[in-house]
Amino acid sequence: MDAKKWRNLIVAIAIFVLGWILPGMGTITKEGMFALGAMISLVFAMATGVDAWFVLLAIFAFAFNKNLSVTVDLFPGIFGNYILWFIVLCFWYVSAVAKTGFLDFFTSKLLKLKIATKGYYWLMATLCATAFIATGLTQASIAVLSVMLGVLRKLQKEFDMKLNNPWVIATGFGVCMCVEFGALLMPFNNVFFMYAGFLSSTYGWINNTNAVAYTLQQLISAVVFIAATILVTKYLIRPKLDAAKLGSTVLVDGDVKIKFDKAMGAVIATIIILVVIVGIPSLVPATSIVNKIATRFNITGAFAIGCIILSLVKNSKGERCMDFLKIASGSTNWTMLFYIGAIIYVGNFISEPDAGIIAQIATWCRPIQNLSPILLISALGILAAILTNATNNMVVALMLAPIGYSVLGMDSPMATVFTVTLICCSIPGCALPSGSTMGAVLHTQNDMFTTGKLIKYGYPLAIVFAIGQCIGFIVTRNFY
């Protein structure tokens, strides 16, 4: 515990205590203020890296105030939540996929396409599309970003481009954003479900989200983003490029051949299982046997099956791709999972009618209740994309969600589309390193670009990202 952690701990405790002692405000009751204070305290502590024992301290105090049984109510409610175990199994699955070598095989195949050497903007499109597809299939976002930034660094040297070259910055941002898009492509990824878990626990679950419509929305959004990024770069940023240097460029060493093996085949099998279990219920009658089987397994069961399959195969180095004991005791971030479980549990108390929080937010939002749902969702989506570049993604989503819900109504079909769009627009925090893990990785590439230039180009491209999401939701809203 250094001075900074002590300060963050004191602030977290102060927020918790403040919520406990403050009286009600407007329609918000004293019980509502307590739940709200506990929620904000936990989110702040998680975002600032306060150790996991604070979670236990906070939930014990919460149980004491709410007259809850630790054995009967608290621990089963927190650690029995399926969203929490979905996140655990998804993390384990992604780690196993990274060990199979499937990412390297798939990326090398895409980067060898001849279209990449037709021009600088074809090359940009190829790099962005490769990042999007590779992340969408593997969900190994950090690994994909590392590979793509390595390719970009190689190109910068081959083209003899200097630090802060506009084309390199725009391409780097495009790749980073496309990794974010890929991490959202499938409805079985942990980013969507983790954020949806936070929002649903606080404001109401996203009922029967159509997996096909969701995937189509993300696909349309990514295509719009890549096209718009190329147009912005070519006609607004207008970098000076030497076409003669592009013809001799080799993105992937032709002598390096990665063979497709049994471990990679196992990844394909798990992807098919995930898509079937998540996507089939949207396409077949609810009474069909296929629907019943898929519903019984659900998303958490699908990832459990995937982990079991990958534990039975070895990669080209002879290493087992999935070792449950090693990953559980070594690389799993249990502190984060403690926080997620506690926040989801506490969030349930915020949406209760007795708390009065939703009613108060609805009162505050009356001036915008006559807005078109499309206009409201688009405006909040763009605002989320801007704000998330300066603060924690989850905070932005939790801050803007009640505005949309209070105007649209939680039971409205548009509330589901709003939640999907808000979550996705809260992800692209890359202009500042504080915005997201992807943003932090991007800002470490000091040999390619500086923080000032990343901020200059980052915010406009974050808005382009949000516009892509908004167009995707406008096209697919009736499919939900």
The pLDDT of residue 254 = 56
* DSSP reduced 3-state for 28: strand
User: Which pairs count as long-range contacts for 112-115, CB under 8 Å and 24+ apart, including other chains?
Assistant: 112/251, 112/252, 112/254
> 222 and 132 in contact (C-beta within 8 Å)?
yes
- Only one residue has tokens 């990042």, namely 131
CA distance 16 to 10: 10
Q: In a 10 Å sphere around its CB, with 0-12 CB exposed, 13-18 middle and 19+ buried, how is residue 23 labelled? A: exposed
Chain centroid to CA 315:
28
pLDDT for position 431: 83
Q: Which residues of 26-46 are buried (b: 16+ CB within 10 A; e: fewer)?
A: eebbebbbbbbbbbbbbbbbb
Confidence at residue 382, expressed as pLDDT on a 0 to 100 scale: 92
Report which of 189, 235, 164 is spatially closest to residue 87, judged by C-alpha positions. Answer: 189
CA distance 340 to 431: 26
pTM over 0.85: no
- At residue 76, the pLDDT reads 87
pLDDT of residue 480: 78
Q: Give me the pLDDT at residue 312, please.
A: 92
Pairwise CA distance, residues 189 & 281, whole Å:
17
Per-residue buried b or exposed e for 2-20, using 16+ beta carbons within 10 Å of the residue's own CB: eeeeeebbeebbebbeebb
Residue 68 identity (one-letter amino acid): L
Quick one: which of 43, 40, 47 has its CA closest to 5?
A: 47
**pLDDT for position 247:** 61
Question: Which positions of the chain have pLDDT values less than 70?
Answer: 1, 188, 190, 201-208, 245-257, 282, 392, 410
The pLDDT value given to residue 169: 92
